[in-house]
Amino acid sequence: MAKSKLKPLIEAIIAMPIVLPPSVIGFYILIIFAPDSILGKFGEDNFNISLLFSFWGLVLASVIYQVFPLFMGNKPLSKGGFWKVLIKKWF
């Protein structure tokens, strides 16, 4: 049984690039970093950067889609994956 109710949610977010096609991940990234979203406003107000349709947005999307799932490994969190120690300390 999970110690935290957030553990399945974190596991699902980490696994999203593995399960969803690139177009869906890109759509979610567009929504999350849109200028009228919380993260989009934060980036523009504090760092004067807009990630939509820019080089750094492309880099961020590539990292999310290609590199981030590698940290999960081939084991789910419940079986001792890379994030197990991190999740155990936080939750």
Give the Cα separation of 57 and 63 in Å (integer). 10
Distance from C-alpha of 44 to C-alpha of 50, rounded to nearest angstrom? 6
What is the distance between the alpha carbons of residues 44 and 89, in angstroms, rounded to a whole number? 32
Residue-wise pLDDT for 47-70, tens only, equals 888 888 889 888 888 887 777 666
pLDDT band of residue 8 (cuts 50, 70, 90) is confident
Q: Round to whole Å and give the CA distance between 21 and 68.
A: 15
Reported as a single tens digit per residue, the pLDDT across 12-59 is: 777 777 788 888 888 988 898 898 999 989 989 998 888 888 898 888
